[in-house]
Amino acid sequence: MSVTPTAMPSALTAPPADYVQASGSDGPKISSDFETFLVMLTAQMENQDPLNPIESTDYAVQLATFSGVEQQVRTNDLLKNMGVQLGLMGMSDIADWVGKEARVAAPVQFDGDPITLSPNPVAAADEVILVVKNAEGTIVDSKPLPVSTDPVEWDGLDGTGQSFPHGVYSFELTSRSNGLHLSTDPVESYGRIVETQNNGGQLWLVLESGERVTADAVSALREAAE
């Protein structure tokens, strides 16, 4: 199995898109608000104190304030529309990820085949321990690993050489130095992608284990084993 660099969706890495036109439905709403503002302004002028009239500069300030609010409403709508468009672009970009294996720090499905792990021990560590947990969070395996970032294979076999039950497993790496605990961190592993989703513009991947991870959490991508 060959590991290929992750081609992140263009929606996650592209520069800002060109300014787009607001939807036609925005026009009537803003126009109605402006008409209401003019009615209120006219009423204010008609009912002002003739002995203490409102300065013309005050009217200018009110008009400028309303114009600023109007522009902000348009800008917010445009940004919202752009976000939806970028989300759709991202979905098309990651559609072909389905069926491949993503390297992520999340529980993955074990079906009897070895699982590739990517440990990342603390720089000061002189000893690292791999900890394996089942879906219930119970530790089922623990073994020392070389103090290295080189990939390792978890064969899924217990101390007697029997395979652990098929199911969902997660992996952690405990780093130590001179016998002292430094940290315990999730270990990235490869899991098969079965679905891609767009939730409010956020791109999600559903793994075979049932876990959902964001697309930008993937650090590597490879073809699944036959």
pLDDT tens readout for residues 83-120: 454 444 466 677 788 899 999 999 999 999 999 999 99
Residue 219 in this model has a pLDDT that exceeds 60: yes
More confident residue, 67 or 120: 120
Instruction: For the chain, give the mean pLDDT.
Output: 78
Q: Is the pTM of this model over 0.85?
A: no
As annotated, the residues of the chain forming the CATH 2.60.40.4070 domain(s) are 110-189
Residue 48 in this model has a pLDDT that exceeds 90: no
Give the per-residue pLDDT at 209. Answer: 93
Mean pLDDT of 49-68: 67
Give the per-residue pLDDT at 21. Answer: 38
Q: Provide the angle, in degrees to the nearest 10, between the axes of the packed helices 26-46 and 56-94.
A: 170
Q: How far apart are CA 95 and CA 197, in angstroms?
A: 9
Mean pLDDT of 6-16: 44
Give domain 110-189's CATH architecture. Answer: Sandwich (2.60)
3-state secondary structure of 75: helix
- Check if the beta carbon of residue 156 is closer than 8 Å to that of residue 164: yes
Cα–Cα distances in angstroms (integers) from residue 75 to residues 19, 68, 85, in the given order = 10, 10, 15
| pLDDT level of residue 28 (50, 70, 90 thresholds) | low
pLDDT cut 90: percent of the chain above it:
42
